[in-house]
Structure 1
């Protein structure tokens, strides 16, 4: 039945007007034929939604996921499911001329389905802070917002440079970044979160792993982190503190009272606000370096 429904949707989708299209290469090196100036865009990740709005393209966004809650205007857009399980039928019904996804959402299946329906899908794959800024420029190029993207890129790069200049001469505390505490998931060396810690003036204790793997708590403790970074909601701070102080009681981080709580929307979303997360993390890691900042 599901297959029949899919085929029915496929038959109902009108063929694209190839005369008004151009080829672009996405961040997985896929060639994608898109409208020269996409007007009906669906974003399947919060960071991508934030990028589109930051580029001044909010009026072209016709669909987002249920997790796309920033800026506030994003909440008014049509919902097409959550980030990991978007609803194909809703996407098709909105008649998008561009769907944007990220590899972190693991949407290979729906990407293939949309490809078969000749609905253009552009995939992003940022694995460092620089690549996040590059994704921003790529989206600008794809949507015709090249000038806006270049301006925003330069503004964000200036802020990054200001942070790295401030922390350059500071000692680098050994840091444990908690992607998730139970079970313990960490950020490996090929991730933008690892890069975030490095740029903020820290030294990740999980540099020897890749991606976001489950990690041994015993090994994490043995590596004696001097700082524990917990991207959690403010309302959960007290509970998180209690758990971390118990689980990591023997580490220098707990003995020196160095638990950093930071808004996960600023660190875990590889979008424009990631730079605000970098600034907050750098301030927390090296407060004296920013003490005289006007």
Structure 2
């Protein structure tokens, strides 16, 4: 390939003489996407949270978590690109990693950003056909889902992600984008990205119809559902699959089916 200049989603310009062939991915959903784009053989390092595809646990080298990595382990793997995400990984970490090799940073707050990331990976890793196929599949599924959801009534929702302190999904993030797509009005969308909240104020701040307890990053239990639910007037408390609401990339295809099943149950 001839020299290629590309700009990542935080505006950093990268120039590559050849297409990167030793990839470390520090974002679970992006590891899954890279695999789905046919790049398994090029992936040399992942995080301990990269659980899809399952066999990567035994075939790929773990270099730490998403917020804390072993820089020396990464250096010894001799990557020629590291894939990060603005929200998942810290700026400080990205700056350290740049001393090892180029760091491509994604920034996904909308479905449009997701399409852009897949297009970028197609150019970056010379798999344009695969990336186009994935974008076509996702575009088709998105249109289908919008048709499905158009007549559903809008319900008020609070989407919990953490306990001690209680934290919820606010605005300007992918979770909120998918809530809106599902005709859910997030009662905390004017409180910042991931606000800490007080349960006793929940009725005043919007009194949701639905309380969603995400399976990740915090594993909520039945007693949490009871504790949170009693601070609303009438909300139905639902345990939801966090991967379906917060993972971008190819996971979105499975998410549309998941959302349909969820609406049937609600």
Tell me the equivalent position of 2:143.
161
- Partners of 2:4 and 2:16 within 8 A in 1: yes
Correspondence for 1:232: 215
- Please state how far the C-alpha of 1:111 moved relative to its aligned partner: 2.2
> For 1:136, what is the secondary structure of its paired residue?
helix
SS in 2 for 1:116: coil
Counterpart position of 2:106: 124
Distance 1:212 1:35 in 2: 39
Q: What runs of 5+ residues in structure 2 fail to find an aligned partner? A: none
Q: Any idea what the Cα deviations from partners look like across 1:24-43, whole Å, max 9, x if unmatched?
A: 11110011223431111010
1:87-143 CA-partner distances (Å, limit 9, x unpaired): 1111111111111101112332232233334x1110001012331232122112211
Q: In the alignment, is residue 93 of structure 1 matched against residue 71 of structure 2? A: no
CA distance in 2 between partners of 1:179 and 1:193 (Å): 10
**Residues 164 and 201, structure 1, Cα contact 8 Å, conserved in 2:** no
Count of residues paired in the alignment: 262
Structure-1 separation of matches of 2:261 and 2:201: 27
Partner of residue 177, structure 2: 195
Partner secondary structure for residue 105 of structure 1 = coil
Call closer, same or farther: CA 1:183–1:201 in 2, change over 3 Å.
same
Report the CA distance shift for 1:253/1:134 in structure 2 as closer, same or farther (over 3 A).
farther
The question of whether the paired residues in 2 share the 8 Å contact of 1:34 and 1:98 is answered with no
Q: Is structure 2 residue 227 aligned with structure 1 residue 251? A: no
| 2:223 corresponds to which of 238, 242, 254 | 242
Which has the higher Rg, Structure 1 or Structure 2?
1
Task: Give TM-score, length-normalised by structure 2.
Answer: 0.90
From 171, 180, 204, the counterpart of 2:162: 180
Deviations 1:196-232 (A, max 9, x none): 1111121111121221121232332331110111122
Distance 1:122 1:77, change over 3 A: same
1:81 is aligned to: 64
Q: Secondary structure at the match of 1:51?
A: helix
Q: Which residue in the other structure is 2:241 paired with?
A: 263
Change (3 A) 1:197 1:278: farther
1:207-261, Cα deviation, whole Å (9 max, x unpaired): 212211212323323311101111227xx67xx233222332252454xxx2222
CA distance in 2, matches of 1:51, 1:171: 32
Sort the Cα spacing of 1:169 and 1:176 in 2 relative to 1 into closer, same or farther, 3 A: same
Shift of 1:180: 1.6
What's the counterpart of residue 284 of structure 1? 262
Q: CA RMSD in A?
A: 2.2
- In the alignment, which residue of structure 2 is the partner of 1:208? 190
Distance 1:80 1:21, change over 3 A: farther
**Unpaired segments ≥5 residues, structure 1:** 1-18, 289-294
| CA positional deviation for 1:21 | 4.3
Deviation at 1:167, TM superposition (A): 1.2
CA distance in structure 1 between the aligned counterparts of 2:74 and 2:98, rounded to whole angstroms: 13
